[in-house]
Amino acid sequence: MNLYALTPGDEIRRRIEKIQHAMADAGMPAMLVTSNANIYYTTGRVINGYVYIPATGKPLYFVRRPTGIQNPDVIYIHKPEQITGHLAERSIILPEAIGFEMGLLDVMTYDRLTKAFGGIKALNASPVLRTARAVKTDFELDMLRRSGVKHERVYQRIPHLYEEGMSDIELQIEIERISRLEGCLGQFRIAGESMELFMSNILAGDNADSPTPYDFAMGGAGLDPSLPVGANGTVIKPGMTVMVDSNGNFTGYMTDMTRVFSDGDIDDLARKSHQCSIDICRSLEKAGTPGTPASQLYELAMSIVNERGLERYFMGHSQKAGFIGHGVGIEINELPVIAPRSRDVLALHNVIALEPKFVIPHVGATGVENTYIVTEKGLECITNSPEEIINLN
Amino acid sequence: MNLYALTPGDEIRRRIEKIQHAMADAGMPAMLVTSNANIYYTTGRVINGYVYIPATGKPLYFVRRPTGIQNPDVIYIHKPEQITGHLAERSIILPEAIGFEMGLLDVMTYDRLTKAFGGIKALNASPVLRTARAVKTDFELDMLRRSGVKHERVYQRIPHLYEEGMSDIELQIEIERISRLEGCLGQFRIAGESMELFMSNILAGDNADSPTPYDFAMGGAGLDPSLPVGANGTVIKPGMTVMVDSNGNFTGYMTDMTRVFSDGDIDDLARKSHQCSIDICRSLEKAGTPGTPASQLYELAMSIVNERGLERYFMGHSQKAGFIGHGVGIEINELPVIAPRSRDVLALHNVIALEPKFVIPHVGATGVENTYIVTEKGLECITNSPEEIINLN
């Protein structure tokens, strides 16, 4: 077993350098990476352990499991209290402060780790890691593009899965099966607990207007109060829309994509709002160059919505979401956030999902979602598949 | 929308009383519940917000989302800094200390919440909640029994899903489809990041011997280094075992269950180890009465394994797991833990999954897993389905 598995060593070095650059900006002399997502980012695989990153030079990998990794920079440990001893053995002087993932690390583990480092001064490494990860390397862009191609294929097969009289959840089960057969890993990585979901969210008809506790753009009542989001057993009928929002994690890096389906014609307001979503995407694709404030993209979208008098329905009807897009990559909630008060500014090779959506009472959800790479020329779409409302028949 | 949704108010009061009893034992004058699992436990549904539980009397529910909950004890807020003002309005005097879920709450949120309570003395509520939740109410036992019945049905259908030449992942996809069609919610709730998985783990042949970074009883290389566990694309062949370990979350409360399948006969050592697992379950079912130390169940299992000379293969071969069972309920990693150094003692109406398993080189994984209720007479199995190795043909 190779620590770097599918990720070449050069790529890992490039990511570590990016993190070290952000550490220098933040005045952080060292960092201990602890979350699965950031361990995957800094090693190319998930390990049970810790990645110690100094301000300059090579990281060290303290691993509990799995056994058998052959790598000179891997040190097997049983508990974090052994880390400082190993650093001393390698003549590494403990820095004055160390960064921890305070945005994710639980208080008990954090207390244990700071004690294991002799009560060291702790800094917050979460913003540093989020900033470094927001700008993708060429290797990561390739992973995302490959996910996008497979993701498109899943959407092309959806009309073939539909049978008259199906419920939203029955259609969802068949979509997820096809997605897995195309190679989707299923796991939907999310930082924190603000969302719980694994593969997709299917909203048929008025269920789109059911509020959810989660940070999703759209809601849905769900099948059970223990997981109140998404499909609720609505039988798909002519006149309603069926929104399919799914994660495309085929490579460890996921694309995010939404298309809308219907069994026959739908009413004018719904069509108009769906076209508005497509038009917003076209406008934002042009506007989304490096240096553009994320809030400006949001305002541009709102101006198009207002022009067409569709505010009531935009980003939800009885409960509204406060954003129209978000960074994606290893996790579904990365930087930048496309929201009115976002301070994020688009950078070259950010990857963002834009999802300007509407909820039309008595019809359902409309609008598209695509995943884009920020390039000098604007946003490059990596989830290319027809955007009009697709007839299920 | 009703806050208590499917959970009757009496049931919630019973749970709150159980928590308040544990709070009294721990000297905790109040608690703020923040995690999705514990919010579900204390409300009957997931909300985005906080549950404030005083040492005596009714809890208050501070909710951000979803909108529209009609309940006199629900107070809508935008941010946690509003909580103390609302408590004052209701003439509730702030206690000297408050319990937070330090085992789950991230450091940044924790800092914000303690500041929002004026820098109040913080206690650790995680052990209190884990202890309260370990003893299930009759309502919860009913939810678990209902999950068990549906879970059994999924296993009965597995042989009908198999086709010669299938890979482990292809079989897994069909099993998960059937499971969803039976009503499985898919979500596999886990406290913390020690495990990442959503529905099932299928191990065919020698893939069972691949070490994983996660805290699962068995490993598997997985399909991608971003999720290194479970099926790896092994084509199922005569002579190998196919272990199907799946979550049965049909009600918000999940059963955990494992059965082994094969395409034709398997060798004697594998059969012998599988029978040993069944015999361990029979012995532990008798021994598992209230008051029994969890470590004693582990020792009893080990003594049976040693008697039969199967130590080399028990709980893994190239990497071994350190436990043979765990509490289940809302999450898959609840108390008690059945491990050699566990200090847990079985209590009436604990619910535990026992999974004494083996890895036999060149054959695969063997052994069963069942979910049990601790009763005065011993362990009551709620995942009843034939335990012998089942022929896929």
For the segment A15-24, the average pLDDT, to the nearest whole number, is 97
Given this model, what pLDDT does residue B2 score? Answer: 54
A175 secondary structure, DSSP code: H
The SS3 of residue A254 is: strand
Rg of chain A on CA atoms, in Å: 22
Per-residue pLDDT reduced to its tens digit, A328-359: 999 999 999 999 999 999 999 999 999 999 99
Per-residue pLDDT reduced to its tens digit, B269-300: 999 999 999 999 999 999 999 999 999 999 99
**Interchain contact, A107 vs B103, CB within 8 Å:** yes
Given this model, what pLDDT does residue A192 score? Answer: 80
Chain centroid, CA B83 distance in Å: 32
The SS3 of residue B160 is: helix
Per-residue pLDDT reduced to its tens digit, B248-258: 999 999 999 99
Query: Could you tell me the pTM of the whole model?
Result: 0.96
Q: Which residues pair with A63 in a beta bridge?
A: A49, A76
**Interchain contact, B225 vs A252, CB within 8 Å:** yes
Q: Which chain B residue's Cα is nearest to A318? A: B67
Six-digit token pair at B204? 């065919």
Give A-chain residues touching B180 at CB under 8 angstroms: 169, 173, 176
Packing angle, helices A36-43 and A9-26, rounded to 10: 120
**Interchain contact, A180 vs B198, CB within 8 Å:** no
Given this model, what pLDDT does residue A198 score? Answer: 75
So what's the ipTM on this one? Answer: 0.95
Six-digit token pair at B337? 């833990």
Given this model, what pLDDT does residue A225 score? Answer: 92
**Interchain contact, B46 vs A7, CB within 8 Å:** no
pLDDT of A4 > 60? The answer is no
DSSP-assigned states of every residue in A118-159: TS-EEEE-HHHHHHHHHB--HHHHHHHHHHHHHHHHHHHHHH
Per-residue pLDDT reduced to its tens digit, A177-199: 999 999 999 888 888 877 777 78
More confident residue, B195 or B117: B117
The SS3 of residue B270 is: helix
Given this model, what pLDDT does residue B1 score? Answer: 43
Given this model, what pLDDT does residue A1 score? Answer: 43
Contact B369, B357 (CB under 8 A): yes
Given this model, what pLDDT does residue A6 score? Answer: 60
Per-residue pLDDT reduced to its tens digit, A291-307: 999 999 999 999 999 99
Q: Which residues pair with B338 in a beta bridge?
A: B325
**Interchain contact, A226 vs B183, CB within 8 Å:** no
Q: Which chain A residue's Cα is nearest to B106? A: A106
More confident residue, A259 or A9: A259
Distance from CA of A288 to the nearest CA of B (A): 30
For A46-195, list the strands marked E by DSSP. 48-54, 60-65, 74-76, 97-100, 121-124
The SS3 of residue A245 is: strand
Per-residue pLDDT reduced to its tens digit, A77-100: 999 999 999 999 999 999 999 999
Contact A313, A362 (CB under 8 A): no
Q: Which chain A residue's Cα is nearest to B225? A: A45
Given this model, what pLDDT does residue B4 score? Answer: 53
Given this model, what pLDDT does residue B133 score? Answer: 98
Given this model, what pLDDT does residue B192 score? Answer: 80
Distance from CA of B227 to the nearest CA of A (A): 7
pLDDT of A214 > 50? The answer is yes
Q: Which residues of A65-82 are buried (b: 16+ CB within 10 A; e: fewer)?
A: bbeebeeeeebeeeebee
Given this model, what pLDDT does residue A69 score? Answer: 87
Of A65, A187, A196, the CB nearest to B187: A196
Place B32 in a pLDDT band, splitting at 50, 70 and 90: very high
For the segment B181-186, the average pLDDT, to the nearest whole number, is 94
Q: Which chain A residue's Cα is nearest to B184? A: A223
Six-digit token pair at B329? 């309920």
Residue among A100, A101, A90, A98 nearest A60 (CA): A90
pLDDT over 90, % of chain A: 91
Of A177, A198, A213, the CB nearest to B66: A213
DSSP-assigned states of every residue in B281-308: HHHHHHH--TT-BHHHHHHHHHHHHHHT
**Interchain contact, A170 vs B181, CB within 8 Å:** yes
Per-residue pLDDT reduced to its tens digit, B316-333: 999 999 999 999 999 999
Spatial separation of the C-alpha atoms in residues B148 and B256, rounded to whole Å: 8
* Dihedral sign (CA A268, A273, A274, A279): positive
pLDDT over 90, % of chain B: 91
Per-residue pLDDT reduced to its tens digit, A240-280: 999 999 999 999 999 999 999 999 999 999 999 999 999 99
A358 vs A213, A214, A256, A324, CA distance in Å?
A: 18, 17, 17, 11
Maximum C-alpha span of chain B: 72
Pick from A306-315, B105-114, B165-174, B214-223: least confident? B214-223
Given this model, what pLDDT does residue A7 score? Answer: 77
Contacts of B86 (CB under 8 A, 6+ apart): B60, B62, B75, B77
Determine how β-strand B60-65 pairs with β-strand B74-76. parallel
**Interchain contact, B185 vs A214, CB within 8 Å:** no
Contact B339, B295 (CB under 8 A): yes
For the segment B120-129, the average pLDDT, to the nearest whole number, is 98
Phi, psi of A360 (to 5 degrees): -105, 115
Residue among A200, A204, A147, A197 nearest A175 (CA): A200
Six-digit token pair at A348? 């070259």
**Interchain contact, A319 vs B66, CB within 8 Å:** yes
Contacts of A39 (CB under 8 A, 6+ apart): A33, A46, A47, A49, A51
Mean pLDDT, chain A, whole residue set: 95
Of A6, A126, A177, the CB nearest to B225: A6
